[in-house]
Amino acid sequence: MLQVNTTVQTDNVTDIVTVASTTAYLLIYTGAVPASCATAASGTLLASLPMSNPIGTVSGPTLTMSTITAEAASATGTAGYWRICTSSAGTTCVAQGNVYATSTLTTSAATASGNVLTFTATGSIVAGQTVSGTNIPTNTYVLDVTSTTITLNQNVTSTGVASGATITFGGDMSIPNTSISSGTTVSVSSFTISAGGQ
């Protein structure tokens, strides 16, 4: 696996801001993320949200989006993925990722070390979702899910995760409700993109 230092990671997310340019849009679609940014969009376009100029600010290897203008949905469906494109036409995709509804679970046992969290039930959590909470490192996501455990891509920090801890699961971008109806206002709060590979 290729690994790069923090300077290169920072350059990667800075390039997203540069290439997105001054007229970027956040487009939300149904279905699965296309194979690459060069692959044509699939699914139904649910919403086109104008982004700020510039689209966000870079701090180290993390890009935090600035204000994204809320707009009425143009179609009905379940949000599956997003794309940042240079215009509302969606012809040039700069970045893309999954959309998930934000959800939380409470641990049922302590995890002193390692990368497996235990819950009474894991519900609808799936591999690929982002994970955050006390003593969960940044850039953590779900590797595997059973009915009561969730395996992370990296270990918890040295102080561990306590029983009864609240763990938040989301996506590359999370929204309160992924079910979108035509004509309803779609609002996305600021989200971040982090470059990995250190």
Each domain of the chain, given as residue ranges in start order, spans: 6-100+176-194, 103-170
Tokens of 5: 């230092």
- Express each pLDDT in 30-50 by its tens digit: 999 999 999 999 999 999 999
Residue 12 predicted with pLDDT over 50: yes
Q: Please compute the mean of the pLDDT values over residues 159-166 and round it to a whole number.
A: 96
What value does the mean pLDDT of the chain take? 92
Q: What distance in Å separates the CA atoms of residue 38 and residue 80, rounded to the nearest whole number? A: 18
Provide the pLDDT for residue 171. 79
Q: Specify whether the backbone of 31 is left (phi greater than 0), alpha (psi in -120 to 50) or beta.
A: left
The fraction of the chain above a pLDDT of 70, given in percent, is 97
- Express each pLDDT in 105-135 by its tens digit: 999 999 999 999 999 999 889 888 889 999 9
The H or E element spanning position 131 is strand 130-132
